């Protein structure tokens, strides 16, 4: 991969100066005082017009590159005299000066056409074919030819769904597009992002998000439609009482959400889902790429990692950088990154990233300024409380090792020698394990890093932990669960959690007016669910045979974490994670969306830990 060299000190010095200036003029005032706004309707190749807003610097003494953000979430406020309160990916970019462009994607808000969720990429296009890449090409071409003051270079960025549109922009093929930054990009909605993980429905997000986003748009609109009103303060109670998914759909969507009908029609990984996996198209990319995400992103951590890996595999000669910080979904742009949940860091990680990585990336490729020292991969290790540079991701020097489940709740790098051994629990869909402690109606983003002591005390959660560590252990890269299971049912979910257990002796501290009892804290690092009927194929689900030992293997997204001396490594295993994930009936059903209340049943689940069936978690250790 091409390397570029930098002047980090210069940007740090600039940041210290601009930091004082920021206090004198807020972002919202800066936008009004330094930018002109123009609203445009840009015609695409099929004649449909996409609503686009252009914010150009008032200073006309020099030319500026474009920074384009395409979104399904509205480019509002609408009206020539109404301004956004901030522009671009950061305050630093706002003050540096770009021509900022925002566009309602096809079929959303004020743009014409039909909206298609994660619109499939057309491989062999004809002149009238349209997808997100052609819409990006046509938009960029119009901007270059019609907006005065541009320098002929375009960058594209976006977080989450706009991250997906950024990925597709890299495939547009327009020569003006020089730099693209997909951030937490939606990548595959069946395997690992947002609404499904390994075939299991992320019910909480599906119903909260699509109760508004999924409503039909019969005409152009400037405001969000009124969605379903969840008249409850307790999500666990609300979703449990609704029962099967078909009951929930009737109550919340009432047949009005087209995409949910797609879910019902495509319960398995068929051509519908495969067509929406952008990874297969990530070839022949020309722009420099900066792929950004958070290790604690509850929505698109998987998509960030998989987008980077696919680009790297298929485009080895381009600049393609991965940045993974200690962030929630979009936390690098929506917080200073000094803490997350109950865990505080020793620096403002988001501000540092904006100053030293993101802004220098766009300055170099769009303005020809600077020479940023951006490595192949940059990750933040919470355990070590520091950034780590890598020449490859996963790090080539990491060695694969296996953490085995052992008797009496032990966890060890030594494989079991016993010829028999298992741990058993009863999984009851009527009393599912909550995904988080406490009572709330909105899905928390902090559950990704929260204390797991509430779960470890339940009888339907298995707990395995190492002895107290006598030296540091650093994990870097993917995790792979390898379970040997049996059940009295014909289907089951398996949730595996990797946890850092803090020493009991640590003193409590106050963070955001909350006392954090950090002694004995069980900090979640990574958790993932696998629906067992997809253990052999996502396309063709298979029932489990009651009483038969089955192997269930699945990937958990990458981590970068140092377990400090005095800490312990813990793994938890359970079969419900509610209401985050829909309940598995524990009875094989062809289509989960058509399951009835009477299909749900208790099951006795056994996790084997013996020499010929050694349940484990494969990790990558940096030594």
Residues 6+ apart with CB under 8 A from 9: none
Task: Find the DSSP H helices in 266-300.
Answer: 271-274
Nearest to 69 by CA among 170, 137, 156, 187: 156
Q: Which residue ranges form the domains of the chain, and what is each CATH number? A: 8-188+276-390 (3.40.50.1820), 206-274 (1.10.3020.10), 399-622 (2.60.120.260)
**Is residue 408 classed as helix, strand or coil in its secondary structure?**
helix
Sole residue written with tokens 């252990």: 473
Q: Does residue 395 surpass a pLDDT of 50?
A: yes
pLDDT, average across residues 601-609: 98
Compute the distance between CA of residue 18 and CA of residue 95 in angstroms, rounded to an integer: 9
What is the average pLDDT across 521-545? 98
Model confidence pLDDT, tens digit, residues 242-273: 999 999 999 999 999 999 999 999 999 999 99
Instruction: For the chain, count helices (H), then strands (E).
Output: 15, 28
DSSP assignment string, 429-455: TTSPPBSSSS--SSPPSGGGT-B-HHH
pLDDT number for residue 12: 35
DSSP strands (E only) in 139-295? 150-159, 177-183, 196-197, 200-201, 288-294
Beta 35-43 vs 64-71: how paired, if at all? unpaired
Q: Is the dihedral of CA 291, 292, 294, 299 positive or negative?
A: negative
Q: Cβ distance 323 to 295 under 8 Å?
A: no
pLDDT in tens, 407-416: 999 999 999 9
- The residue-averaged pLDDT of 575-584 equals 98
Going 92 to 95 to 96 to 100, the CA torsion angle's sign is positive
Reported as a single tens digit per residue, the pLDDT across 507-523 is: 999 999 999 999 999 99
Distance CA 498, CA 556 (A): 10
Residue 307 predicted with pLDDT over 70: yes
Q: What is the pLDDT, as a whole number, of residue 126?
A: 79
Q: Tell me the β-bridge partners of 235.
A: none
Confidence class of residue 139 from pLDDT cuts 50, 70 and 90?
very high
Alpha helices in 397-512 (DSSP H): 453-456
Q: Are strands 339-340 and 343-344 parallel, antiparallel or unpaired?
A: antiparallel
Segment 75-91 shows an average pLDDT of 97
Is pLDDT at 241 greater than 60 in this prediction? yes
Residue 373's pLDDT band, with cuts at 50, 70 and 90, is confident
Instruction: Kindly state the percentage of the chain with pLDDT values over 90.
Output: 94
Q: Average pLDDT in the 236-244 region? A: 98
Instruction: Quote the CA–CA distance of 402 and 500 in Å, as a whole number.
Output: 17
What are 387's two structure tokens? Answer: 């950034």
């Amino acid at each position: 991969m091409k390397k570029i060299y930098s002047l980090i000190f210069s940007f740090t010095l600039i940041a210290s100066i601009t930091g004082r200036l920021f206090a004198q003029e807020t972002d919202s005032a800066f936008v009004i005082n330094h930018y002109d706004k123009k609203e445009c309707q840009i015609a695409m190749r099929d004649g449909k017009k996409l609503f686009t807003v252009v914010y150009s610097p008032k200073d006309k003494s020099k030319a500026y590159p474009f920074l384009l953000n395409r979104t399904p979430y509205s480019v509002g406020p609408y009206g020539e005299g109404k301004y956004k309160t901030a522009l671009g990916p950061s305050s630093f970019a706002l003050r540096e000066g770009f021509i900022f462009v925002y566009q309602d994607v096809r079929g959303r808000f004020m743009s014409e056409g039909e909206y298609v969720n994660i619109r499939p990429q057309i491989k062999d296009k004809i002149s009238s074919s349209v997808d997100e890449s052609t819409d990006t090409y046509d938009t960029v071409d119009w901007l270059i030819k019609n907006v005065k003051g541009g320098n002929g270079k375009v960058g594209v960025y976006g977080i989450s769904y706009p991250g997906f549109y950024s990925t597709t922009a890299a495939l547009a093929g327009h020569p003006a597009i020089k730099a693209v930054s997909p951030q937490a990009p939606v990548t595959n909605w069946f395997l690992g992002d947002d609404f499904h993980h390994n075939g299991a429905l992320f019910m909480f997000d599906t119903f909260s998000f699509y109760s508004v986003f999924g409503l039909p748009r019969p005409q152009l609109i400037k405001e969000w439609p009124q969605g379903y009103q969840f008249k409850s303060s307790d999500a666990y109670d609300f979703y449990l009482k609704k029962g099967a998914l078909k009951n929930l759909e009737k109550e919340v969507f009432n047949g009005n959400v087209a995409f949910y009908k797609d879910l019902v029609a495509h319960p398995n990984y068929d051509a519908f889902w495969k067509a929406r996996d952008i990874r297969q198209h990530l070839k022949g990319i020309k722009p420099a790429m900066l792929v950004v995400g958070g290790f604690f992103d509850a929505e698109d951590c998987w998509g960030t990692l998989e987008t980077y890996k696919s680009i790297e595999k298929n485009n080895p000669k381009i600049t393609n950088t991965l940045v993974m910080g200690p962030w929630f979904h979009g936390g690098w742009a929506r917080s200073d990154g000094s803490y997350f949940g109950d865990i505080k860091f020793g620096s403002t990680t988001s501000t540092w990233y904006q100053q030293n990585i993101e802004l220098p990336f766009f300055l170099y490729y769009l303005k020809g300024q600077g020479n940023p020292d951006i490595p192949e991969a940059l990750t933040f290790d919470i355990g070590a409380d520091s950034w780590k540079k890598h020449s490859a991701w996963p790090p080539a020097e990491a060695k694969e090792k296996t953490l085995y489940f052992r008797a009496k709740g032990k966890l060890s790098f030594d494989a079991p020698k016993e010829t028999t051994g298992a741990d058993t629990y009863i999984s009851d869909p009527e009393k599912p394990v909550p995904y988080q402690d406490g009572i709330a109606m909105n899905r928390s983003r902090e559950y990704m890093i929260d204390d797991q002591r509430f779960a470890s005390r339940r009888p339907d959660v298995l707990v395995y932990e190492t002895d107290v560590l006598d030296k540091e252990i650093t994990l870097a890269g993917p995790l792979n669960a390898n379970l040997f299971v049996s059940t009295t049912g014909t289907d089951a979910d398996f949730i595996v959690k990797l946890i850092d257990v803090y020493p009991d002796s640590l003193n409590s501290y106050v963070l955001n007016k909350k006392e954090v009892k950090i002694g004995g804290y069980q900090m979640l690092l990574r958790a993932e669910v696998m629906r067992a009927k997809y253990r052999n194929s996502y396309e063709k689900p298979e029932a489990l045979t009651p009483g038969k030992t089955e192997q269930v293997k699945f990937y958990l997204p990458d981590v970068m974490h140092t377990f400090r001396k005095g800490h312990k490594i813990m793994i938890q295993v359970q079969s419900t994670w509610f209401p985050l994930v829909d309940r598995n009936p524990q009875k094989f059903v062809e289509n989960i969306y058509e399951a009835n209340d009477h299909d749900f049943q208790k099951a006795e689940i056994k996790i084997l830990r013996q020499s010929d069936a050694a349940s484990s978690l494969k990790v990558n250790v940096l030594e």
